[in-house]
Amino acid sequence: MKTGANTGANTGAKTSAKTGDQIVQELPWKWRVQGRIFVIGGLGYLFDAYDIALNGFLMPLLGDHFDLTIGQRGYVATANLVGMAVGAIAWGAVADRIGRKRAFSVTLLIFALFSVLGALSPTYEIFLALRFLAGVGLGGCIPVDYALVGEFSPRKYRGRVLTALDVWWPVGVTLCGLVSTAMLSLDGNWRWMLSTMVLPALLLFWVRRGVPESPVYLSRKGREAEARAVIDDLVARTGAPVEPYVIPSPPADERSRGLRAAAEQLVRIWRFSPRVTSASWLLFATVMLVYYAALSWMPSILREEGLGETAAFMGTTLMSGVGIAGVLVSTALVDLVGHKWLIGVSAPLATLALVVFALVLKAPTGSLVAIAAFGFLVQLTIPVLYAYVAELYPTSLRASGFGWASSVSRALTGFAPLLFGSVLWPVLGLPVTFAVLGAAVLGAVAWMAFAAPETRGRALDADLDADLDADLDRG
């Protein structure tokens, strides 16, 4: 390995020299440096939220336009979410191979292209196919964004930064609700709703071209000169003291490329830790199943209860608007109480709020209070969940580990709208349906308490296996 603050010289440096990764993780936080990457990554996350929320607003409108049954309307969310599941798997593996920066930009281009085509769809079948393809592009945003933002964030602030990244989600959902409500009076309103985010997405693609590649990723790939250039630039721009550091030689990488990449990454994340991976998948699957079920169907539920389209849309917007406060509170609490406690308390309470909502649905004030409570509590959970899973894996597996966990939830939630609209809601009723989902969340939280370690304040590439065993031994 080589050492030096600005060069690759002095191969005989002391073994106590810091690594380049440690230098990056110990930098002071500067809004014009790491904050810029946080904002750009967050805007991509906003588009993801906007697109998923749009499914719920499109479902009643497309149902009227194409004369669809309740079950057929569920395919709107299914096509999009299944596409995102495919994208999360594919782009997580691609980002671990070609770099965060390239994957960071291409995902939005794919989303923008197929969103434009989707707005022009002449038939429902073509619309579903194009929503699937748009989802493939946008599904890569979250795992790539979290990997990139996390690897640029100082260790001292990383938990709060990754948690705060989720504030862009309720902002995107709220913005979608406001824009969709404003467009209800337009002819072809659903087409305008689809077209709204295309220009901003292209503008963000242009802005993203200036984001540097992750130095942590470059180090792991043996691209020492590029890693040093980024690290030295970060040190200079943050005003941190110049220190000598080493770039460790990367491990031999004999993994094949192409279509086998995703399958190989899946094997590797399970070999790394079956306990961690199973806990991550269960948490993602259950928590996001509850959230997406509420987000996708809330406008339709409120409309079925006799509310007009505007009132139904604004009720869902209230849920997401209150969620902004939930993310801010979550950001303040995560480093105080830890990831596991915050998830373990807030996730079950969020599902309980949905059960209460279903029980008091006939009382307008009570149902709105319950919707707001759910929006707040679920956004205490999701930001910490995303940050937690991203920190459970080493750099070589971070994007793909997060991507696979996200893809599992997207695959399940992709089919949830069909089951919810055709089986659960009409057969079990809303209170029992939400209670069943809540029981699944409780089971996932119980397994997390046993199987996964706390990650608060831990170095990104600490000895994760040793930390896992020590944390679990402490109970």
Q: What is the pLDDT of residue 261?
A: 64
Residue 187's CB: how many other CB atoms inside 10 A? 6
Q: What is the pLDDT of residue 123?
A: 93
CB-based burial of residue 122 (10 Å sphere; 0-12 exposed, 13-18 middle, 19+ buried)?
Answer: exposed
Q: What is the pLDDT of residue 258?
A: 43
Query: In angstroms, rounded to a whole number, what is the distance separating the alpha carbons of residues 170 and 140?
Result: 19
Q: What is the DSSP letter of 241?
A: P
Q: What is the pLDDT of residue 277?
A: 93
Distances in Å between the Cα of 455 and the Cα atoms of 87, 151, 388, 416, 459 are: 27, 15, 7, 31, 9
Residue 391's CB: how many other CB atoms inside 10 A? 23
Domain ranges, ordered by start, for the chain: 16-248+260-473
Q: Dump pLDDT digits (tens) for 180-233.
A: 999 988 888 899 998 887 777 777 777 777 778 888 778 877 888 988 999 999
Mean pLDDT of residues grouped by 10 in the chain (475 residues)?
44 61 89 88 80 88 86 84 80 70 74 86 93 85 74 82 82 91 88 82 74 81 88 93 86 50 81 92 92 86 79 88 91 86 95 94 87 94 86 80 79 75 80 92 95 74 49 45
274-304 vs 364-391: helix axis angle to the nearest 10?
160
3-state secondary structure of 17: coil
Query: In the beta sheet, which residues pair with residue 245?
Result: 18
Q: What is the pLDDT of residue 237?
A: 92
34-66 vs 100-119: helix axis angle to the nearest 10?
20
Q: What is the pLDDT of residue 452?
A: 87
Asked if 143 contacts 363 with a C-beta cutoff of 8 angstroms, the reply is no
Place of tokens 């404003």: 182
Q: What is the pLDDT of residue 308?
A: 77
Query: Could you tell me which CATH number the domain at 16-248+260-473 has?
Result: 1.20.1250.20
User: Which helix H or strand E contains 2, and what residues bound it?
Assistant: strand 2-3
Q: What is the pLDDT of residue 252?
A: 58
Within 13 Å and on the Cβ side, how many CA atoms surround 423? 5
Residue 423's CB: how many other CB atoms inside 10 A? 12
- DSSP string for 40-87: HHHHHHHHHHHHHHHHHHHHHHHHHHHT--HHHHHHHHHHHHHHHHHH
Q: What is the pLDDT of residue 92?
A: 66
Query: In the beta sheet, which residues pair with residue 3?
Result: 246
